[in-house]
Structure 1
Amino acid sequence: MNQNSMSASLGSGVRTAAPAPAQSLPLSSADLPVVALGGLLALTVAYGHAAATAAGIALAGLSLLVTLIVLVFARRQLRADPRAASFARMATGLAIATVLMGIAADVLLLAAAWIVSGRLMAGLIGHVGEWAEARSAARRASISFAVGDLALVGAAILLAIGAGSTEISAITAAVPTMANGFTIPAAFLLVIAALARCALPPFSSWLMRSLAAPTPVSALMHAGFVNAGGFLLVRFAPVLETATSARFTLFIIGLAAALFGSAIMLVRSDVKGSLAASTVAQMGFMLLTVALGAYAAALWHMVAHGMFKAWLFLGSSGTISTASPAAKGLPKPWPAAIALATLASALVFNLTGEGTALLPVGLACAALLSALAIGLRAIPRSPLGLMVAAAPLLLIALNAAALTMMSALQVNAAQPLIPDYAQFGLLSVLLAGWVVQQRIASGEAALPPALFARLMHVANPTA
C-alpha cells in the first residue's frame, strides 16, 4: 500500500473536530433601537458635538444614577412580569436619550433626544398594555409630550434661523443682537415645552394619570425626565432673559402649580397619588426659581428633588400606613416657629447681596427645618437618637454645600425678575399658606366641603 492510499484509508476513519462556532452577543432585534441610541451618543462625543455645561452634567448625572438604582430595583419587583425585559430596554434607552440631551451641543440634536425620551416615557407609562387605564394614560401623555415637542422644534428652528447656526453656543452668543421677532416667540415656545415636560398646568393630568404604570416607571420619571424642563430653560437662559413677558408668564404658572400641587396633596389618600401631586408642586417651585433667574438654585432643586422623589416612589410600593391622618402634619407650634425662623434667615440672606434666590432658598430652608423638626420628634431614647437628630443637620449642611458649589458653576441671571423686597413679601405669603396647610394636614383645621369636593375631582382625572 502506497503512502497516498494509506493516508486515504486513515482519513476515512478519523474525523477532525469542527471549529467551535463564534460566541454571538445576546442581542435581539428589540435591542437594536437602544444600541442605535448608544451608538449615536458615542458618535456625538467622538465627533465633538458634545458640550459640558453645569445644567447638562446635572441632568446626565441624575439620569444615570437614578436609572441604575431603578433597574436594580425592577429586577426584583418585576421578576414575574413578562415585559420585564422590555422595561429594562426602554429604561436604558431613556437614560441614553437623557444623557444625549444633556450634553448635546447642537439644538437639533437636543430636540431629537428630547422627542425620543418622550416617546420612550409614553411607552413606559403604557407598560401594562392590556389595561385600558394604562393605555389611556399613555395616550394622554403622548398628546402632552407632542405639544411640548412641537414647541421645542419651533423654538429650535427660530433660533437657528436667527443665529444662522444650529450650535447652541452660537445661538446664545447671537441672542443679544438677534431680532425680537425670533427671541420672544422662541422664549414662549421654550416655556411651553418646559411646562409640558414638567407636568405643570394645563399639562398636569398626564402625570396624575401615569400612576397606572408600575412603581419603577414612576421612579424613573424623576431620573431627569420630568425635571428636564428646568434644564431646558437654564440651557437657553439668554433667550428667556430677552423676553420679560415670558419670564413673568413662567413665574405665574409656576406659582399657581406650586399652590395647586400642594392643595391636591391634602386630598389624595394614596401614597403614589400624593407623591405625584407633590411633584407638580415641586416642579412649579423649580420653574418659578428659573423665572426669577436663580439658575443655580433651580439646578440643585432638580437634582435633589429627582433623587429624593425617586427614592420615595421606590419605597411606596411596600408602604402600609397605620398612622392617623393627623400624623401628616406638624403640630403646634412647629409650623409657626419654622416660618418665623425662615423669614429671619431670609433677612440675613438678603443682607449678603444674594437676593436673586431669596424666595427659593427661603422655601428650601423651611423644608429642611421641617425635616429637622420631624427628626427631633422621632428621636428614640437610646444612643441611636443622636444619629437620628444628626441626620437632618447633615442634610442641611449638605444642601448648603451643594448649593454653594452649584452657584460657582452656574451663573444666575444678570437681572432678577422681581426685587428682593417683593420676593420677601411673596415668601411671607407662601409661608403663611404653608402654616395653614400644616394645620389641615395635622387635623387642626379642615377644608371647606365644596373646595374639598372640587379638589377631589381634579385630583382624580378621568378620560
Structure 2
Amino acid sequence: MQEFLMFLSMPALLVWLILPVALLVLAAFSGWTRNPLKLDHCWRIASRLFEASMVSTVMVGILLLLGGGVPELGRQFGLYPDGLAVWMALLVAFIGWVILRYAENYLRGDPTRARFLPWFLTTLASVLLLLFTDNLLVLAGAWVGVSLALHHLLTLYGHRPEARLAALQKFIISRVGDICVVGAVLLLYRHYGTFHLPEMLQVAYTGVSGSLALDVASVLFAVAAILKCAQIPFHGWLLRVMEAPTPVSALLHAGVINLGGFLWLRLYPVFEGFTAGHLLLLSIGGLTAVVAVLAMMSQSSVKHALAWSTSAQMGFMLFEIGMGAYTL
C-alpha cells in the first residue's frame, strides 16, 4: 500500500514542480506573440493549467492524509508539501482560475488585454513558487517577483493619475518589504548555517539558543508582513489600487496580499518563543483590525468598503499570529 501511495505521489508533486515553470513560459509566449488567435489559445491553456493545479493539489492533500510519504518525496524535488501549502495552493489556483475566466471577457476589446495576461501569469507563478519551495533564497526571490509583476498590472491604466500614484506608492512600499525579506533570510542563514527550511527546522527543534540575528530577522519579517498586508499606516496603496481594472484588484486576494501571513506561518518555528517581531504584529495588526473595521462601515463606495475590509481581515490574521495562535 505504501509503495502504491508513493507511486501516486510522484505525478502530483511533478505537476507542482512544473506548474510555475509552465506558467512563466506561457507568460513569456503570450507577451511575445501579436497573433490574436494564439493569444486566445494562451488564455485557454492558462485556464487548463490552473485546473491541473487544483487537481494535483487535492491529490497531494489526500496523499498527505493517507501518509504516502509525500513530505520526504517532495523534499527531493526542493518542495515543501504540507497542509499549509496545500490550502494556500488550492486558494491561489481557484481564485486565479476564476479571475482568469472573468477577465477574458471583461477585458475583451480593451487595449490592455494583451498586457494583462503575461503579468497576471507571472504574478501567480511567483506566488505558487513561494508556496512550494523549501529554500529560503528561492522564497525571497519569488517574494520579489510577486511585487515586481504586480507593479506592471497596477499600471495597466497608466493614463489615470490615481492609478499611477497607487502604483508608485505600492512600488516604494514593496521595495522596502523586499529588502526586509532578503535581509531576514540572510540573518537566518547566519544563525542556522543553511537556506533549506527542513534543515533549519530540524536545528530549531533541538532547542538551539536564540541570538541577536534571530531577533532582528523577526522584526524584518514582521515589517515585511505589515507592508504586504496593507496595515496602518501603510494601507493607502490598497485603497488607491481600486483605480486598476477589477481583475487586478481581485488578484490581490489570490495569495498576494495575504503572503505576509503565509510567510510567518511557514517560518514561525525557527523563532524561539515571543519575539520583537511578534510584538510588532500584535500591536499593528490589532490596531488595524479595529480601525479598518470602523472605517469600512463608514464607506459609501463598495470598492473602498471591500478594501478596508481586506485590510481589517489581514490585521486580524497578523494579530492572531502575534499571539502565537498559528493553528487558528
Task: Give the TM-score category using the shorter length.
Answer: 0.7 to 0.9
State the Cα distance separating 1:244 from its structure 2 match.
3.1
2:106 maps to 77
SS at the partner of 1:201? coil
Deviations 1:8-34 (A, max 9, x none): xxxxxxxxxxxxxxxxx99748259x9
Q: Does 1:30 align with 2:31?
A: yes
Q: Does 1:107 align with 2:136?
A: yes
User: How many pairs align?
Assistant: 264
Task: Choose from 227, 244, 258 the match for 1:196.
Answer: 227
Deviations 1:318-343 (A, max 9, x none): xxxxxxxxxxxxxxxxxxxxxxxxxx
> Which residue identity is paired with 1:271?
V
Q: Does 1:233 align with 2:274?
A: no
Output the CA distance in 1 between the equivalents of 2:299 and 2:243.
15
8 Å contact 1:208–1:276 — kept in the other structure?
yes
Moved more, 203-212 or 272-281: 203-212
Output the CA distance in 2 between the equivalents of 1:187 and 1:27.
36
Moved more, 46-55 or 285-294: 46-55
Output the CA distance in 1 between the equivalents of 2:288 and 2:121.
30
Deviations 1:87-143 (A, max 9, x none): 122111111111100011100000000100011112211210122211111110011
State the Cα distance separating 1:247 from its structure 2 match.
1.4
State the Cα distance separating 1:190 from its structure 2 match.
0.8
Task: Choose from 64, 72, 77 the match for 1:48.
Answer: 77
Output the CA distance in 2 between the equivalents of 1:278 and 1:231.
19
1:98 maps to 127
Output the CA distance in 1 between the equivalents of 2:201 and 2:32.
37
SS at the partner of 1:295? coil
> Which residue identity is paired with 2:255?
G
> Which residue identity is paired with 2:202?
A
CA RMSD of aligned residues (A): 2.4
Structure ID, larger Rg: 1
Task: Choose from 300, 304, 310 the match for 1:269.
Answer: 300
Output the CA distance in 1 between the equivalents of 2:323 and 2:282.
7
Deviations 1:141-188 (A, max 9, x none): 011111111110011000012111110112223334154112111111
Q: Quote the sequence identity (%).
A: 34
> Which residue identity is paired with 1:285?
F
8 Å contact 1:97–1:114 — kept in the other structure?
yes
1:135 maps to 164
Deviations 1:55-90 (A, max 9, x none): 222222211110110010011111121111221221
Q: From the superposition, tell whether residues 199 and 88 of structure 1 become closer, same or farther in structure 2 (CA, over 3 Å).
A: same
Structure 1 outlier segments of 4+, above 6 Å: none
8 Å contact 2:27–2:118 — kept in the other structure?
no
> Which residue identity is paired with 2:116?
F
State the Cα distance separating 1:54 from its structure 2 match.
2.1
Q: From the superposition, tell whether residues 91 and 263 of structure 1 become closer, same or farther in structure 2 (CA, over 3 Å).
A: same
State the Cα distance separating 1:53 from its structure 2 match.
2.2
Moved more, 53-62 or 225-234: 53-62
Output the CA distance in 1 between the equivalents of 2:173 and 2:150.
12
TM-score by length of 1: 0.54
8 Å contact 2:191–2:211 — kept in the other structure?
no
8 Å contact 1:78–1:84 — kept in the other structure?
yes
8 Å contact 2:230–2:236 — kept in the other structure?
yes
Output the CA distance in 2 between the equivalents of 1:89 and 1:288.
35
Unaligned runs of 5+ in 2: 1-25, 34-41, 43-48, 50-73
> Which residue identity is paired with 1:57?
V
1:18 maps to none
